[in-house]
Structure 1
Amino acid sequence: MNLEELLAFAGRHPLLSLALAGLTAAIVFTEIARLFRGFKGLRPAELTALVNRDNALVVDLRPMADFEKGHIPGSKNVQLSQFDPESKQLAAAKALPVVLVCKTGQTASGAASRLKKAGFERVFVLDGGIHGWQQADLPLSRGRGR
């Protein structure tokens, strides 16, 4: 296919061409925003390694009822409404890597931005949230945790 055929296709199918351009722009924007967000996403296996290697603090932002049904072993539950980067519990962990977990990974991104603004250096979000953890067939603990 050459440029002439491509332009002819675009002329015959303007809505498809516009949709392709829009999707391409959205993907490029999302990837550029990801580079500048200040925190990194982790896959479940990377989270396990970070906890074992660097004693990372895992903070689960889901409601207590969801946390009690199943959470990452060793994680601490902090309600999003009570999430404060300046709290004693979190401020004491400024030197540690902090990994935020929510249901799908979206809510944790906002909390991660708040931690970065508060001066936390090593902030991570679990890609896919607790659903990603479960899809990787990794274990969950039940109850209130520690």
Structure 2
Amino acid sequence: MKFIIDNWMLILLAATSGGLLLWQTLQKSQMGAVGTAEAVRLINREKGVLVDVSEPAEYAAGHAAGARHIPFASLEGSKDLPSNKTLPVLLMCPTGARASRAAGQLRKAGYEKAVAVAGGLNAWREANLPVQKGA
């Protein structure tokens, strides 16, 4: 008990630091974004489906190889989405902002593992992953 009384500031600092680390981890998991390495793992090992929610001109300018194109505006109710809602659905756009909104929309529609690729196509390119041009 004497140790706690003598070192209450250190204990408070350690508890605060641990709490902030836990909070940051929880925030990241709620955002629903994965890095490019995790995206590739989900595609290769869990049959993840890569969906590009860019506008048609953005998609034609460059997109991840093998990505399905479903513009954000026509995402809801699209027949191009996988019928199996338990498969990972990895959403991508040029920066990742639109993809994050799309992931939230798909999770509400029942796609349990809908996540955005953090950094979008820019991060995909930086990781030297294959990019295609054209429709």
Q: TM-score, normalised by structure 2?
A: 0.74
Matched, 1:42 2:34: yes
Alignment equivalent of 1:56, drawn from 48, 54, 74: 48
Contact 1:62/1:102 (CA < 8 Å) preserved in 2?
Answer: yes
1:74 aligns with 2:43: no
Partner residue in 2 for 1:112 = 103
Matches within 5 A, 1:1-146: 31=24, 33-37=27-31, 40-84=32-76, 86-90=77-81, 92-144=83-135
Going from structure 1 to structure 2, the CA distance change for 1:127 and 1:94 (only over 3 Å counts) comes to same
Q: Quote the Cα distance in structure 1 between the aligned partners of 2:63 and 2:114.
A: 19
Residue 34 of structure 1: how far off its partner (Å): 3.5
Whether the 8 Å contact between 1:61 and 1:100 is mirrored in structure 2 is yes
Percentage of pairs with the same residue = 33
- The structure-2 alpha-carbon separation of the partners of 1:134 and 1:91, relative to structure 1 and needing over 3 Å to count, comes to closer
The alignment of Structure 1 onto Structure 2 pairs a total of residues equal to 114
> Quick one: distance in 2 between partners of 1:67 and 1:142?
8
- Between the aligned partners of 1:131 and 1:104, the Cα distance in structure 2 is 6
| TM-score normalized by the length of structure 1 | 0.69
Structure 2 distance, partners of 1:118, 1:81, is 15
2:70–2:80 Cα contact (<8 Å) kept: no
Q: Distance in 2 between matches of 1:47 and 1:104?
A: 15
Cα RMSD over matched residues? 2.1
